[in-house]
């Protein structure tokens, strides 16, 4: 099948198929007469695997490593578990950071409710931000 057909069967875009081919994840055969790339069932299987892995937060580098291990007869499931455990820890830490940011933003919005825009003649950029009390410890952490 050609790029567009593989993309359709894999429920993705032709650009994704081309990119995965360019980085060596997919290995189509080339027609020497017209230069077209033709993909087989193995390419469709790898494409679907890669898309599922991406949906779980694996990078393309991870996916290449996992597929290479599989090609070499290894079972990369232990590596998958380790990678996802590490990524989950990172994602949960990032979620906590974003929740703290959301709280600070809401606090600022509440604090600024009804505050007028001001014109500053003392070189400051925005009095709203300058006047925000927020969490002093958080402010110190972000400026250091």
- The residue extents of the domains of the chain are 1-56
Dist. CA 3–CA 28, nearest whole Å: 9
Quick one: average pLDDT of 35-41?
A: 91
Q: Would you say 13 and 4 are in contact if contact means Cβ atoms under 8 Å apart?
A: no
Q: What is the CATH number of domain 1-56?
A: 1.10.1660.10
Residue 26, SS3 per DSSP? coil
> What's the pTM value of the predicted model, to 2 decimals?
0.73
Quick one: average pLDDT of 112-131?
A: 76
Quick one: average pLDDT of 113-118?
A: 78
Dist. CA 37–CA 13, nearest whole Å: 15
Q: Which pLDDT score is estimated for 141?
A: 55
For residue 139, is pLDDT > 90?
no
And the tokens for 12? 């993705």
What are the distances in angstroms from CA 35 to CA 13, 28, 29, 84? 20, 11, 9, 39
Nearest to 81 by CA among 94, 66, 93, 98: 66
């Amino acid at each position: 099948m050609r790029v567009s057909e593989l993309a359709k069967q894999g429920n993705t875009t032709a650009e994704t198929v081309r990119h995965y081919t360019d980085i060596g994840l997919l290995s189509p055969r080339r027609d020497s007469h017209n230069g077209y790339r033709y993909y087989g069932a193995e390419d469709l299987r790898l494409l679907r695997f890669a898309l599922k892995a991406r949906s779980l937060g694996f990078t393309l580098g991870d996916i290449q490593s996992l597929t290479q291990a599989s090609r070499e007869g290894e079972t990369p499931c232990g590596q998958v578990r380790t990678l996802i455990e590490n990524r989950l820890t990172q994602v949960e830490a990032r979620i906590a950071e974003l929740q703290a940011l959301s709280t600070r933003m809401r606090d600022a919005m509440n604090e600024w409710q009804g505050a007028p825009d001001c014109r500053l003649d003392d070189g400051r950029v925005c009095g709203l931000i300058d006047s925000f009390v927020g969490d002093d410890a958080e402010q110190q952490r972000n400026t250091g």
